[in-house]
Amino acid sequence: MTNPFDLGGQVAIVTGANTGIGQSIALALAAAGADIAAVGRTPAEETVAKARALGRKAEIVSADLSTIEPVQRVVDETIAKLGRLDILVNNAGIIRRADSVDFTEEDWDAVIDTNLKSVFFLCQAAGRHMIARHEKEGGNGRIINIASMLTFQGGIRVPSYTASKSGIGGLTKLLANEWAAKGVTVNAIAPGYIATNNTTALRADEARNRSILERIPAGRWGDPEDLGGAAVFLASRAAGYVNGHVLAVDGGWLAR
Q: Give the model's confidence band at 6: pLDDT under 50 very low, under 70 low, under 90 confident, else very high.
A: very high
Q: What is the pLDDT of residue 176?
A: 98
Asked, for residue 255, whether it belongs to a domain, the answer is no
Residue 33 amino acid letter: G
Residues spanned by the domain of 225: 11-249
Count of CB atoms within 10 A of residue 217's CB? Answer: 11
Rounded mean pLDDT, 19-37:
98
Judge contact between 165 and 115, C-beta under 8 A.
Answer: yes
Rounded mean pLDDT, 106-131:
98
Query: CATH no. for residue 137?
Result: 3.40.50.720
The answer on pLDDT for 9 being more than 90 is: yes
Question: Closest Cα partner for 150 from 35, 233, 254?
Answer: 254
Q: How many domains does the chain have?
A: 1
Rounded mean pLDDT, 215-243:
97
Distance in angstroms between the alpha carbons of the first and the last residue of the chain? 39
In the β-sheet with 11-15, what is the strand arrangement from edge to edge? 58-62, 35-40, 11-15, 87-90, 141-146, 184-191, 246-249
Judge contact between 150 and 192, C-beta under 8 A.
Answer: no
Q: What is the pLDDT of residue 48?
A: 98
Asked, for residue 70, whether it belongs to a domain, the answer is yes
Catalytic residue check, 161: yes
**Residue of 120, 161, 179, 193 marked catalytic:** 161
Rounded mean pLDDT, 44-56:
98
DSSP state for residue 68 in the 8-state scheme: S
Q: Give the model's confidence band at 41: pLDDT under 50 very low, under 70 low, under 90 confident, else very high.
A: very high
Q: What is the pLDDT of residues 134-159, one digit of tens each?
A: 999 999 999 999 999 999 999 999 99
Q: What is the pLDDT of residue 2?
A: 87
Asked, for residue 50, whether it belongs to a domain, the answer is yes
CB under 8 Å to 133, separation ≥6 — which residues?
Answer: 139, 141, 183
State the Cα–Cα distance between residues 123 and 120, nearest whole angstrom: 5
Mean pLDDT over each residue of the chain, to the nearest integer: 97
Q: What is the pLDDT of residue 1?
A: 61
The answer on pLDDT for 174 being more than 70 is: yes
Element (H, E) at 128: helix 118-137
Asked, for residue 6, whether it belongs to a domain, the answer is no
> Which of 26-40, 103-117, 149-163, 191-205 comes out lowest in average pLDDT?
191-205
Asked, for residue 230, whether it belongs to a domain, the answer is yes
| pLDDT above 70 coverage of the chain, percent | 100
Question: Closest Cα partner for 250 from 220, 229, 211?
Answer: 220
Asked, for residue 256, whether it belongs to a domain, the answer is no
Asked, for residue 5, whether it belongs to a domain, the answer is no
Q: What is the pLDDT of residues 52-73, one digit of tens each?
A: 999 999 999 999 999 999 999 9
The count of residues in the chain is: 256
Q: What is the pLDDT of residue 201?
A: 84
Judge contact between 96 and 107, C-beta under 8 A.
Answer: yes
Region for 181 from its dihedrals, namely left if φ exceeds 0, alpha if ψ lies in -120 to 50, beta otherwise: alpha
